[in-house]
Structure 1
């Protein structure tokens, strides 16, 4: 189901599917895949990362008019080597020594991220992505390969260590979004769940592959679910493998989340990063045009639009289009602005009940995007036009 359209007054009205870009595995300084040496997979990249690789993220966000989410792995940002005391956090264990990554680039890049936070939002992706037990690397940091969550106390210890890494580097508040490492996750066991722990740290959004999730109870919908105040959205498959550098732009299955990995948008020569970024931006802008899709401007906008897209009853009724939100859960993660698109070559005057217009833009293709904020306690939005 891509795009939900209805005809009204000689025009087409749609409830578009959002597209939101998530870039995973950001934050490594070493680029190489260390998995054969009991180290993290990292990015499988041919060089060290540098500030230009973060500039590429900002350029992409600006091109898309989107506050892009970056799944940040922070282990190589440890300034004091305190991770030696966090069980399972690194491959060196008690011998952890991060001096190779402790340099002026830490402060420089942290300042860059702070200065550009309106374009880039940090998402939790882990300390070093994997888990080390008795010196042996296991997948993954928070869940094993079967989706069994690691002991709650250990999970909390790692989440607290992540907070310490953020604080060491002045990277701001705890993230709102969690992207499970390697997408191993679990759902459906209530107060014993990963969602309950995440919510206690202020995380209200999760994106993962439901096919790699251990479900203790079935999700409420095949592509969207909620537990303990946390909203989960199906991530789907990435259109490029995690270790493909300078990946040719390609859009895969149509899910609200478009997940790329950092290497995909970077060039082996950082001076050519912009060429890769611009190619991805062009294809996404094209995808977001027309009636069926829209580029979500930020994380929360994607979740509220996806909830309406998947759960609302979108129907024609008495010379109007109705968006019935009765089935959308009353959770902050799913509450917010809902966008519709109208293709109207006659420029009619459109009216709305149950919502306030908070934004409107019209493209060259006579498609107008209208942002609607539902009125308090309203569960139904009506769209209609009046004759002159």
Structure 2
């Protein structure tokens, strides 16, 4: 009897210890589960004040501040951005001032755009350098976005300068709407001098940063900077809200909609607009905004032989961000703004390893206007030799995938206003039938049938699209302006390499059809 009693007590104790062990194990596993999938913040920089031919300030004589460097610019001053972009897989947002690119003196028709008004004469700047620079920008659309900053950066009345071009921040009042529309018209006319017109398949810039933060925020009014920019084709804006407190911008939320454009806040972290070779000084943990401010001068060394060292500093800066557990480098502006929206309106939870629920029901309707919401990005920390070997969203293929800095980056299709179930597995082999997007283009959807693979993408410039798939029999596109320039298939890696060109430097959309 005593032996039976002791046996029962020991058995109960053993069961209790085992149950406690299982409870703790499951809880630890649950904790690790919630940390397995990462829903990271996107990161990007804006590069203001590109496009000037001369860098020295004219502020003392009533002109613009320009770049704050007393030297002339040529194509060599654009190469650092391209070289860094290639090294880190980013299409940087360049913001351009175009007055000194005016080869036909059209600014004279719009006297508020320059200091000299109707007497504007840019003949001293007209030479082949301008054409070389603008061709270089277009040819390298994969790594440098041509975004709108301004015509002359300021606003002039009879030669008197007022800050700044798009809103009167000195007197806290908007400029006349007709003048602002004329500034946009002038910008388009300068673009046209280089063949950048709709007739040639070129769109107006999708991105805009107002000079000196001069944005007339008025989402409920009949006139605002957002409204005229949206009508011109702009979709994405960033600025510093602190400069327009009288307009009550959405500082606490970090951004908001103004007549169809998404305006998000940005801050500067220690590199002034005129400082050559100057990187942000604060660590990423202190960044309150997903896009931060830089200026052209910050990317330029004082002489050519110093430039490679500066380029490497920028490369290391971006690589450190890519390796950060809660951030990643947005490939391009559309991706940045898409992730900004997802981080504010979408919830992600992983209750079981490999099974993730995504609730996107709260995404606002404005996000579904034409050319807006893009991919949502998730990330997973990988050990050496590990890959994401399977991934599906509601039973369908994901859009794209690639690995960098010890992480697997998963690009999901643009999400509708509903719930999703994302399933993935980690293994020793890269998943099949996937676009391995280590470029700067967007892959919106991938469809797979027994006979073909259809990739819905948006191409910037010319890039190599890598596809893990079996050997194809033919390749075509749905858009004549989206061209396959070359192709090769490497059997050992089961990888297809497509060199694809998109005509529109703001992004050429279409489908790539791979038949098997």
TM-score over 0.5 for the pair: yes
Match of residue 159 from structure 1: 184
Q: How many residues align?
A: 381
What is the rounded CA distance, in whole Å, between the counterparts of 2:40 and 2:313 in structure 1? 23
Q: 1:304 aligns with which of 314, 330, 338?
A: 338
Counterpart secondary structure, 1:186: coil
What is the rounded CA distance, in whole Å, between the counterparts of 1:225 and 1:43 in structure 2? 30
What TM-score, normalized by structure 2, do the two folds share? 0.68
Measured against aligned partners, the alpha-carbon deviations of 1:106-160 in whole angstroms (never above 9, x if no partner) come to 1111211121122211111000100111321110011011553211111000100
What is the rounded CA distance, in whole Å, between the counterparts of 1:213 and 1:323 in structure 2? 36
Match of residue 322 from structure 2: 288
Counterpart secondary structure, 1:192: coil
Matched, 1:370 2:410: yes
Contact 1:26 1:262 in 2 (8 A): yes
Match of residue 213 from structure 1: 244
After TM superposition, the structure 1 = structure 2 runs for residues 130-279 of structure 1, keeping only pairs within 5 Å, are 130-145=154-169, 147-171=172-196, 172-187=202-217, 188-213=219-244, 216=247, 219=250, 222-248=253-279, 250-251=281-282, 253-279=287-313
What is the rounded CA distance, in whole Å, between the counterparts of 1:181 and 1:238 in structure 2? 18
Measured against aligned partners, the alpha-carbon deviations of 1:298-319 in whole angstroms (never above 9, x if no partner) come to 1111110111112222345577
Aligned-pair distance for 1:341?
A: 0.9
What TM-score, normalized by structure 1, do the two folds share? 0.90
Higher relative contact order (CA 8 A, sep 6+): 1
Q: 1:329 aligns with which of 345, 349, 364?
A: 364
What is the rounded CA distance, in whole Å, between the counterparts of 1:349 and 1:104 in structure 2? 52
Measured against aligned partners, the alpha-carbon deviations of 1:234-289 in whole angstroms (never above 9, x if no partner) come to 11225300000111453462422132100011012134323212211211111111
What is the rounded CA distance, in whole Å, between the counterparts of 1:292 and 1:327 in structure 2? 23
Residues 379 and 216 from structure 1, CA distance in 2 versus in 1: closer, same or farther, beyond 3 angstroms? Answer: farther
Measured against aligned partners, the alpha-carbon deviations of 1:28-71 in whole angstroms (never above 9, x if no partner) come to 11111111111100011131112100111211211221111110
Structure 2 unaligned blocks of 5 or more: 1-29, 197-201, 428-516
Larger Rg: 2
What is the rounded CA distance, in whole Å, between the counterparts of 1:161 and 1:124 in structure 2? 12
Matched, 1:70 2:100: no
Match of residue 49 from structure 2: 25
Match of residue 3 from structure 1: none
Residues 118 and 147 from structure 1, CA distance in 2 versus in 1: closer, same or farther, beyond 3 angstroms? Answer: farther
Match of residue 422 from structure 2: 383
What is the rounded CA distance, in whole Å, between the counterparts of 1:348 and 1:205 in structure 2? 32
Residues 348 and 300 from structure 1, CA distance in 2 versus in 1: closer, same or farther, beyond 3 angstroms? Answer: closer
Residues 151 and 384 from structure 1, CA distance in 2 versus in 1: closer, same or farther, beyond 3 angstroms? Answer: same
Aligned-pair distance for 1:89?
A: 0.9
Aligned-pair distance for 1:349?
A: 6.0
Contact 2:276 2:299 in 1 (8 A): yes
Residues 217 and 138 from structure 1, CA distance in 2 versus in 1: closer, same or farther, beyond 3 angstroms? Answer: closer
Match of residue 341 from structure 1: 379
Residues 309 and 356 from structure 1, CA distance in 2 versus in 1: closer, same or farther, beyond 3 angstroms? Answer: farther
Aligned-pair distance for 1:197?
A: 0.8
